[in-house]
Structure 1
Amino acid sequence: VLVVDRRSDRLRLAEEAGATAVDDSQGDHVERILDLTDGGADKGCECVGYQAHDPQGVERPEATMNDLVASVKATGGIGVVGVFLPQDDGAPTELTQEGKLPFDFGQFWFKGQRIGTGQANVKAYNRRLGNLIHHGRARPSFIVSHELPLAEAADAYRHFDDRDPGWTKVVLKP
């Protein structure tokens, strides 16, 4: 499992979970993925959504999708769990404001890749995952960076949204 990010705190958590961290601020991450996988990953997952941005901080909603087309092997699969909206008035271009992406469909088609999208079917998995946590077989709490009272939710979200160092996941307590 490879995790691409540029935040050292998140990359460190990925490594602690057993993944290989790829820092996209340190060069061409697509080439790094191709090197690490001998020509392309079997599958890739888009987990950022329309807020994807380049290392300089410029929002590029299409970036992760096109990077996945480039770094997933022919006939590989791409999962999309990042949030994409049918309309986003704050998006950087007229096209992306309409919820559309400049997507490398030609290369996607040529490589015979597949895409699956949508929100997680939480009800199908929550009981089983809850039992794994209860019995100590899964410990997702390692990604929690802060436990705060509900009254601090707005401030916590600002820190998370601004990608402030150390703000990986917040648990709010009423």
Structure 2
Amino acid sequence: MRALTWHGKHDVRVETVDDPGIVNPRDAIIKVTSTAICGSDLHLYDHYIPTMQVGDILGHEFMGEVVEIGPKSTLKIGQRVVVPFTIACGSCYHCGKAQFSACENGMPADNQDIAREAYGQPMSGLFGYSHMTGGYSGGQAEYVRVPFSDVGPIVIPEGIEDDKVLFLSDILPTGWMAAENCDIEPGDTVAVWGCGPVGLFAVQSAFLLGAERVIAIDHFPKRLELARRFGAETIDFEESDTYEALMLMTGGIGPDAVIDAVGLEAHGLFVDNVVDQIKASTFLGTDRTHAIRQAIIACRKGGRVSMPAVYGGFVDKFPLGALMEKGLTLRTGQTHVQKYLPALLAAVLEDKIDTTFLISHRLPLEDAAEGYKLFHDQQNEATKVVLKPGLSTAT
């Protein structure tokens, strides 16, 4: 089959690789019909996430048709499914608490020591996202093996186009969980750092969960305009001091809750961010954490901090004092996708949540390397790139 493989920083290639097969009784093989490039895939593209190996198949946002099943799969051949990016067994201690991204069995035993050394304990496995998260082949391919297929995938009704439901695989539930972690109360103001895909879904979700005001922060005009489409007020951080603007907009109190949807590759010519970039380039640091620092400083006393954004390692100059002295609550983590799928699928089918607005480019799988470069270099124009295996011409 054809699949997108990783070969180093800014080097991804579509190559012919072995077809996947059934390994465990609960497996299924999916013929991929749509797969998207995620903002967190760019962390792999920039080689910020460790334990990638040459030839690894990328991609964790995908859906498709069931073409083969193991004897214990509950899926049926021919069904169309969206697959969560988190790989969870459904029956361990954490899955019993609906904490699917903390599954005890989603990570292969051979990979658990890598994550244990880095984080103290292994998390669930993730598709196409380094050997620290299981080394699983991803979905930017013609076919993919899906472990625990009786737990993860959700069946899509006939007649529903891929574009409407594809983002159930990751960014929609991630944006929803980000807003849910804010514990939004009536009358709340929520500030969202980053108007990429997760940030824009967090904006929608915050309103649906009862926020009175949402303030979106970015510097790409198109993304800020998309946030305004859903009723958000906006701050362009290149034109205004974000902290001062937030204080002015909230009467000097600060937002009730803040969401960091930026992550470890924060942009902007800020002193702390420049220092982070220097440390990363000289191997004295890993993550650029300007967004979460700023969110904590801006949040009101007694407020809530939600961090869906991806971070990979150790950081310094973290405002721990502000977090403690202001009495803030910080909630984070990979998304418990399986927990949210049924309700979010219903919301999408009832048109309560808009999903297709985000797609700016649809490309054949063969043009995946071009898609990565486009999404990386042209973030104002490329809000979301969807790859279509079998598509012969770009649209």
TM-score normalised by the chain length of structure 1? 0.85
Determine if contact 1:146/1:167 at 8 Å carries over to the other structure.
Answer: yes
Counterpart check, 1:147 vs 2:362: yes
CA-based RMSD:
1.8
What residue in structure 2 maps to residue 132 of structure 1?
A: 347
Deviations 1:41-81 (CA, angstroms, capped at 9, x unpaired): 00001111110121479547121111111211001011111
Structure showing the higher helix proportion among its residues: 1
Q: Which amino acid in the other structure matches residue 33 of structure 1?
A: L
Counterpart check, 1:69 vs 2:296: yes
How many pairs align? Answer: 162
Equivalent-residue separation in structure 1 for 2:336 and 2:343 (angstroms): 13
What residue in structure 1 maps to residue 266 of structure 2?
A: 52
Equivalent-residue separation in structure 2 for 1:25 and 1:45 (angstroms): 19
Equivalent-residue separation in structure 2 for 1:23 and 1:165 (angstroms): 13
Matches within 5 A, 1:21-170: 21-38=234-251, 39-55=253-269, 58=274, 59=277, 61-86=288-313, 99-170=314-385
The alpha-carbon deviation at position 127 of structure 1 amounts to 2.1
Q: Which runs of 5+ in 1 are unaligned?
A: 87-98
Classify the secondary structure of the residue corresponding to 1:25.
coil
Determine if contact 1:143/1:168 at 8 Å carries over to the other structure.
Answer: yes
Q: Identity, % of aligned pairs?
A: 30
The alpha-carbon deviation at position 153 of structure 1 amounts to 1.9
Q: Which amino acid in the other structure matches residue 79 of structure 1?
A: S
The alpha-carbon deviation at position 109 of structure 1 amounts to 1.1
Q: Which amino acid in the other structure matches residue 22 of structure 1?
A: I
Equivalent-residue separation in structure 2 for 1:32 and 1:103 (angstroms): 22
The alpha-carbon deviation at position 152 of structure 1 amounts to 1.9
What residue in structure 2 maps to residue 5 of structure 1?
A: 218
Classify the secondary structure of the residue corresponding to 1:22.
strand
User: Quick check: which has more Rg, 1 or 2?
Assistant: 2
Determine if contact 1:6/1:55 at 8 Å carries over to the other structure.
Answer: no
What residue in structure 1 maps to residue 110 of structure 2?
A: none
Q: Which amino acid in the other structure matches residue 136 of structure 1?
A: D
Equivalent-residue separation in structure 2 for 1:101 and 1:162 (angstroms): 28
The alpha-carbon deviation at position 40 of structure 1 amounts to 0.3
Equivalent-residue separation in structure 1 for 2:384 and 2:241 (angstroms): 27
What residue in structure 2 maps to residue 93 of structure 1?
A: none
